[in-house]
């Protein structure tokens, strides 16, 4: 189904793109409509599929700075996207509780940008190079069919940029707000005789709401396509430069009470910070011939990360310690090939998809002391040097069959093989060879049925299996304190069940409901936090179960209401031992069955009322969350909160184009709250406070 949308340091990329824009002279060539992809099924209305999937259309008339993807995801049930007020760390992203334990990047959720994986083969991913300015839509897939995307697919989030069309407007966008926040962006989008293009570049900087949280980001995203050899060829480019983003670290409960805007003292002492630079390119070719369709995609990229941590020199006295400065230089790439066919079997519609994918990451991981003599927060002696390689080779197949006018079946299977290999190049008399390797394999079947109870009402049920390997960060340190990788860690295995109902009325009203349960064996959890390093182990069985509701209702021609609510119970089913305090080497405190999993609020709610009279746009928005447990022992928690936001905009149609002014006021009631948590922080600094009342304003100029 194709609902209409509601309305420095990158010179190499700019030089590459400039001739492409020059070739794209205005044309009236018609381009194919957008195909929303749900569970890899093209051309089938997601309403008819037995899966919970939402498409968030990125409104060009939105308010806000557009700095992070989390700004657009508040209304998706089951999804938690937390702004950490810390650009040295990525957005906290979890779906139905998967990924909530992550203290670094995104894990447990598969992320793709224009079809190119932003999740590496080990399951570790990031959102930092996704751009709201160039995006057209974000697709969120929850439940069993996420497993068809491979390792660490507790859910799937895909960001898609729009295909350029003749007559598309070009845009300049400027927004400014509290804490000296500035975002300046430009989007060139259109189609010519040869090429269609969508190119978005953005500069963002802020002093940060908290002390020691200044950041700057430059980004470039491009999608350029052309018809070639009876098919379509697309070039996909992404670049990000984020130098020296300051990290204020988390706070204890007492520190939050004293001053939520402060940074931890050691953040200043060690000048904790992180630099990221990434460039990648993808090439996708697709061709349709009758009932068949082929697609081949290849991509390659480079990502460099340097992070200065607040680890004291005393902890680094251990000869096995890897130091307080992390330096990662990663090269990655992959291939994806698939074939699909649409036809009939026994006179009923059938859609088949089969394919394979292979991805590889080679990362040079070095570690250094974060001091030289008495000077802290600088790069010192080498303490770690290794080459880490992770790669996967997967095969998948899927079939959708409408075997009767009111019943349909969607079934698929994926086989994944993931190999980890580490080559230690830092070997001394007191630091032995830590090299090693480990291979994980899994076959994940999934199936679901959909029943048309009424032309506007569908019922569905689905079951499936999934798996999640440890990431290289979790394999990096053994829980017993000895040298080498934690090769004893097993992959977590899950079984998921979902029952759902979808009502989509002709007047635009939508009511979706889902009940789900996911049981996981060999769940990964923190074993110890010592000297600034975390080790992990498998803890046994866990369960995530809950209810999701989503409601949309046009109240009048220019008035719309959107509601979303999630109830999620995430708990341990097998008792285990954990560490009760910093410096603990051997888990000594019991976590009972029935205990809550940390990082997962029991309830979330979202409401938005939008009114668009003539050239005006007004909206009131509310978000709420119940309390969140912050550690395995559940002896501390972030309290729940409810926030109110307002926004407005006005558009003027001028002879040369359209000018729009907009403003957004967040946390109108100036509530004090915890915006995100650092699960199982070894120093008890679990809390990342959210900002008080803050405003942003902006201007957007569009012309054709």
Percent of residues, the chain, with pLDDT higher than 70 = 93
pLDDT at residue 589 tops 90: no
Does residue 347 fall inside a structural domain? Answer: yes
The region of weakest confidence among 182-186, 306-310, 430-434 is 430-434
Q: Per-residue confidence at 395, pLDDT binned at 50, 70, 90?
A: very high
Q: Are 400 and 350 in contact (CB under 8 A)?
A: yes
For the stretch 132-156, pLDDT in tens is 888 999 999 999 999 999 998 889 9
Which token pair is 4? 């209409």
* Number of domains the chain is built from: 1
Closest Cα to residue 561, out of 522, 598, 608, 595? 608
The region of weakest confidence among 11-15, 43-47, 413-417, 480-484 is 11-15
Does residue 1 fall inside a structural domain? Answer: no
Q: Where do we find the tokens 């499936």?
A: 464
Q: How far apart are CA 621 and CA 69, in angstroms?
A: 17
Q: How far apart are CA 494 and CA 480, in angstroms?
A: 27
Percent of residues, the chain, with pLDDT higher than 90 = 72
Contacts of residue 533, Cβ cutoff 8 Å, sequence gap at least 6:
321, 322, 477
Domain of 90: which CATH number? 2.40.170.20
How many C-beta atoms lie closer than 10 Å to residue 613's C-beta? 11
pLDDT at residue 258 tops 50: yes
Q: What phi and psi values does residue 539 have, to the nearest 5 degrees? A: -110, 0
**What is the predicted pLDDT for the residue at 524?**
87
pLDDT at residue 483 tops 90: no
Which token pair is 86? 């810390």
DSSP string, 30-85: --PPP---BTTB-SS-GGGSSSEEEEEE--TT--S---SGGGG-TT-TTEEEE--S
Q: Are 523 and 492 in contact (CB under 8 A)?
A: yes
For the residues 338-365, what does the mean pLDDT come to? 95
For the residues 340-347, what does the mean pLDDT come to? 92
Contacts of residue 252, Cβ cutoff 8 Å, sequence gap at least 6:
683, 684, 685, 686, 687
pLDDT at residue 14 tops 80: no
Q: Which residues constitute the domain of residue 354?
A: 11-703
Q: How far apart are CA 240 and CA 90, in angstroms?
A: 13
For the stretch 68-124, pLDDT in tens is 888 889 899 999 998 888 998 888 899 999 988 877 778 889 999 999 999 999 988
For the stretch 304-338, pLDDT in tens is 999 999 999 998 998 888 899 999 999 999 999 99
Does residue 3 fall inside a structural domain? Answer: no
Q: Are 127 and 112 in contact (CB under 8 A)?
A: no
Q: Are 137 and 57 in contact (CB under 8 A)?
A: yes
**What is the predicted pLDDT for the residue at 579?**
78
Closest Cα to residue 37, out of 79, 74, 1, 77? 1
DSSP string, 660-699: EEEEEEESTT----EEEE-TT-TTS--EEEPP-SEEEEEE
Q: Per-residue confidence at 531, pLDDT binned at 50, 70, 90?
A: low
For the residues 219-238, what does the mean pLDDT come to? 94
CA 374 to chain centre: 39
Q: Which residue has the higher pLDDT, 234 or 100?
A: 234
Beta partners for residue 92, in sequence order: 82
For the residues 419-429, what does the mean pLDDT come to? 91
Q: Per-residue confidence at 31, pLDDT binned at 50, 70, 90?
A: very low
| Mean of all residue pLDDT scores within the chain | 89
Does residue 4 fall inside a structural domain? Answer: no
**What is the predicted pLDDT for the residue at 429?**
85
Q: Per-residue confidence at 62, pLDDT binned at 50, 70, 90?
A: confident
**What is the predicted pLDDT for the residue at 247?**
96
Closest Cα to residue 141, out of 153, 128, 133, 132? 153
Does residue 5 fall inside a structural domain? Answer: no
Q: Are 573 and 593 in contact (CB under 8 A)?
A: yes
**What is the predicted pLDDT for the residue at 324?**
93
Q: Are 101 and 678 in contact (CB under 8 A)?
A: no
Does residue 229 fall inside a structural domain? Answer: yes
Contacts of residue 368, Cβ cutoff 8 Å, sequence gap at least 6:
323, 324, 325, 327, 379, 380, 381, 382, 383, 384
Q: Which residue has the higher pLDDT, 242 or 90?
A: 242
Buried b (16+ CB within 10 A) or exposed e, 517-546: ebebbbbbbbbbbbbbbbbbbbbbbbbbbb
For the residues 371-399, what does the mean pLDDT come to? 95
Q: Per-residue confidence at 443, pLDDT binned at 50, 70, 90?
A: very high
pLDDT at residue 534 tops 80: no
Contacts of residue 323, Cβ cutoff 8 Å, sequence gap at least 6:
311, 316, 367, 368, 369, 370, 380, 381, 382, 383, 384
Q: How far apart are CA 632 and CA 599, in angstroms?
A: 10
The pTM of this model reads: 0.91
Q: How far apart are CA 669 and CA 28, in angstroms?
A: 50
Contacts of residue 19, Cβ cutoff 8 Å, sequence gap at least 6:
none
For the residues 545-558, what does the mean pLDDT come to? 95
Q: How far apart are CA 517 and CA 569, in angstroms?
A: 9
For the residues 483-500, what does the mean pLDDT come to? 91
Burial, 273: exposed, middle or buried (Cβ in 10 Å; 0-12, 13-18, 19+)?
Answer: buried
Does residue 309 fall inside a structural domain? Answer: yes
Pairing of β 106-107 and β 181-191:
unpaired
Q: How far apart are CA 144 and CA 411, in angstroms?
A: 11
Q: How far apart are CA 88 and CA 248, in angstroms?
A: 9
144 secondary structure, DSSP code: G
Q: Are 603 and 626 in contact (CB under 8 A)?
A: yes
Q: Per-residue confidence at 39, pLDDT binned at 50, 70, 90?
A: low
Helix ranges, 200-317 (H): 253-258, 265-269
**What is the predicted pLDDT for the residue at 320?**
85
Q: How far apart are CA 48 and CA 455, in angstroms?
A: 10
**Half-sphere exposure (Cβ direction) of 79: Cα atoms closer than 13 Å:** 30
Q: Are 365 and 384 in contact (CB under 8 A)?
A: yes
**What is the predicted pLDDT for the residue at 13?**
37
**What is the predicted pLDDT for the residue at 36?**
43
Q: Give the chain's end-to-end CA distance (angstroms, integer).
A: 27
Which token pair is 595? 């205990």
Q: How far apart are CA 529 and CA 538, in angstroms?
A: 15
- For 425-456, strand residue ranges (E) read 436-454
Which token pair is 312? 């004291």
For the residues 62-68, what does the mean pLDDT come to? 81
Does residue 2 fall inside a structural domain? Answer: no
Q: How far apart are CA 465 and CA 402, in angstroms?
A: 23
**What is the predicted pLDDT for the residue at 91?**
84
682 secondary structure, DSSP code: T
């Amino acid at each position: 189904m194709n609902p209409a949308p509601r309305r420095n340091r990158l010179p190499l990329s700019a030089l590459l793109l400039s001739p492409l824009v020059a070739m794209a002279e205005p044309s009236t060539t018609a381009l194919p409509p957008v195909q929303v992809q749900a569970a890899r099924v093209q051309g089938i209305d997601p309403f008819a599929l037995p899966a919970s999937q939402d498409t968030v259309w990125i409104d060009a008339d939105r308010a806000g700075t557009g700095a992070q993807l989390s700004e657009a995801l508040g209304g998706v049930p089951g999804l938690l996207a937390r702004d950490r007020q810390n650009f040295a760390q990525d957005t906290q992203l979890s779906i139905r509780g998967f990924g909530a334990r992550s203290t670094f990047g995104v894990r447990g959720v598969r992320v793709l940008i224009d079809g190119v994986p932003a999740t590496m083969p080990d399951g570790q991913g990031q959102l930092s190079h996704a751009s709201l300015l160039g995006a057209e839509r974000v697709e969120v897939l929850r439940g069993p069919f996420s497993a068809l995307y491979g390792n660490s697919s507790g859910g799937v989030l895909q960001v898609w940029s729009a295909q350029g069309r003749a007559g598309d407007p070009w845009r300049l966008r400027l927004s400014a707000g509290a804490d000296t926040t500035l975002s300046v962006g430009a989007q060139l989008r259109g189609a010519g005789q040869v090429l269609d293009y969508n190119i978005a570049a953005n500069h963002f900087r802020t002093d940060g709401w908290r002390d020691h949280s200044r950041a700057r980001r430059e980004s470039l995203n491009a999608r350029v396509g052309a018809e070639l050899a009876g098919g379509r060829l697309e070039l996909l480019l992404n670049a990000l430069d984020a130098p020296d983003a300051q990290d204020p670290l988390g706070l204890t409960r007492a520190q939050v009470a004293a001053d939520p805007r402060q940074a931890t003292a050691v953040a200043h002492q060690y000048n904790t910070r992180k630099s990221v630079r990434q460039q990648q390119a993808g090439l996708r070719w697709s061709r349709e011939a009758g009932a068949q369709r082929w697609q081949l995609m290849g991509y390659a990229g480079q990502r460099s990360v340097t992070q200065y941590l607040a680890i004291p020199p005393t902890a680094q006295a251990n000869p096995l310690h890897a130091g307080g400065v992390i330096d990662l230089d990663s090269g990655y790439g992959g291939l994806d090939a698939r074939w699909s066919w649409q036809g009939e079997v026994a006179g009923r519609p059938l859609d088949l998809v089969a394919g394979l994918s292979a991805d590889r990451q080679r990362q040079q991981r070095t570690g250094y002391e974060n001091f030289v003599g008495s000077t802290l927060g600088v790069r010192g002696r080498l303490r770690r040097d290794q080459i880490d390689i992770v790669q996967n080779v997967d095969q998948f197949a899927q079939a959708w069959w409408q075997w009767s006018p009111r019943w349909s079946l969607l079934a698929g299977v994926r086989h994944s093989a993931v190999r980890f290999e580490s080559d230690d190049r830092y070997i001394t008399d007191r630091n032995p060879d830590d090299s090693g390797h480990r291979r994980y394999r899994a076959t994940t079947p999934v199936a679901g049925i959909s029943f048309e109870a009424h032309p506007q009402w569908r019922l569905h049920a689905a079951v499936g299996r999934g798996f999640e390997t440890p990431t290289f960060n979790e394999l990096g340190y053994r829980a017993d304190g000895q040298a080498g990788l934690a090769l004893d860690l097993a992959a977590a295995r899950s079984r998921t069940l979902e029952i759902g109902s979808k009502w989509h009325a002709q007047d635009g009203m939508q009511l979706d409901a889902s009940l789900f349960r996911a049981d996981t064996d060999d769940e990964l959890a923190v074993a110890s936090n010592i000297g600034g390093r975390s080790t992990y182990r498998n803890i046994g069985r866990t369960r995530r179960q809950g209810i999701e509701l989503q409601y949309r209702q046009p109240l009048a021609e220019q008035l719309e209401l959107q509601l979303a609510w999630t109830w999620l119970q995430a708990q341990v089913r097998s008792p285990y031992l954990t560490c009760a305090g910093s410096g603990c080497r051997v888990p000594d405190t019991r976590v009972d069955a029935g205990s809550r999993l940390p990082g997962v609020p029991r309830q979330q709610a979202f409401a938005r009322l939008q009114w668009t009279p003539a050239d005006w746009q007004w909206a009131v928005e509310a978000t709420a969350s119940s309390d969140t447990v912050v550690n395995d022992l559940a002896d501390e928690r972030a309290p729940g909160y409810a926030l109110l936001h307002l926004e407005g905009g006005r558009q003027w149609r001028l002879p040369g184009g359209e000018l729009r002014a907009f403003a957004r006021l967040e946390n109108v009631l100036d509530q004090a709250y915890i915006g995100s948590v650092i699960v199982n922080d070894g120093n008890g600094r679990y809390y990342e406070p959210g900002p008080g009342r803050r405003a942003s304003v902006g201007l957007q100029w569009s012309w054709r």
